[in-house]
Amino acid sequence: MRHELFSRAKYLCLAILILPILVFANEESIKSGEQKAMICTACHGVEKSVNPEWPNLSQQSKKYLVDQLHAFRDGVRKNALMSSQAMGLSDKDIQDLAAYYNSIPSEKGKLKADEEIITLGQQIYRGGIYDRGVPACISCHGPKGLGIDRTGYPKVSGQHSIYTLNRLKNYKDGYDLKDSVSKNYAIMSSISFRLSNLEMKALSEYLQGLY
């Protein structure tokens, strides 16, 4: 019994010693990411990107950022502007950049579309579309659209509606080859495949103002 207590105390001491080291390591990574992100800021800004076709990265889930940067670097996800940016990144650069963008709080997004279209978006986001087997987006992306970091489910709220709409269409177009991209891509591709253009538009307008 005494032995067990002693051993527990030992683990506790160890945890107390290691915790500050872990926090310190993450802060170092964020700082280093900030330096490395100078070039990214030209397009992605800090809280918000300058062009609505370029995604905001602030407060984005870290695992998702890491996954996407690997996908661009390895040529699995392609984009004329972005692919060349990722080509020269090391694994450490990717970790640091993801830690940095994840640490920046986002600005609140604004709703810009008509009420009718926002309501349709909200309905699908919260309840899915039962007849067509579309699951509620909220179950993976959360009530505030912040995603679930450890699973790589991204933050989708406060994003430019133009970017989101392009992305949903891309998932839909990629349906036939979805399994060759990644497990997570296949999840989102199967969902987008069942949405009409109007529904994708409604969702992207709703998400822009969600927070």
Where on the chain is the footprint of ligand HEC (CB under 6 A)? 39-40, 42-44, 53-55, 57, 65, 67-69, 79, 81-82, 85, 97, 124, 134-135, 137, 139-141, 152-154, 156, 164, 166-168, 182, 184-185, 187-188, 191, 203
User: How near is the Cβ of 100 to ligand HEC at its closest, in Å?
Assistant: 8
Spatial CA neighbour of 117 closest among 52, 193, 200, 195: 200
User: How near is the Cβ of 142 to ligand HEC at its closest, in Å?
Assistant: 10
The residue among 7 and 139 lying less far from ligand HEC, judged by its C-beta, is 139
| 192/176 Cα distance (integer angstroms) | 12
| 198/202 Cα distance (integer angstroms) | 6
User: How near is the Cβ of 158 to ligand HEC at its closest, in Å?
Assistant: 11
Q: Which residue has the tokens 């067990």?
A: 4
| Contact between residue 79 and residue 108 where contact means Cβ atoms under 8 Å apart | no
The residue among 26 and 194 lying less far from ligand HEC, judged by its C-beta, is 194
| 122/135 Cα distance (integer angstroms) | 13
The residue among 14 and 87 lying less far from ligand HEC, judged by its C-beta, is 87
The residue among 117 and 156 lying less far from ligand HEC, judged by its C-beta, is 156
The residue among 7 and 119 lying less far from ligand HEC, judged by its C-beta, is 119
Spatial CA neighbour of 210 closest among 135, 106, 127, 130: 106
Neighbours of 105 (CB within 10 A): 7
User: How near is the Cβ of 147 to ligand HEC at its closest, in Å?
Assistant: 8
Rg of the chain, C-alpha, whole Å: 20
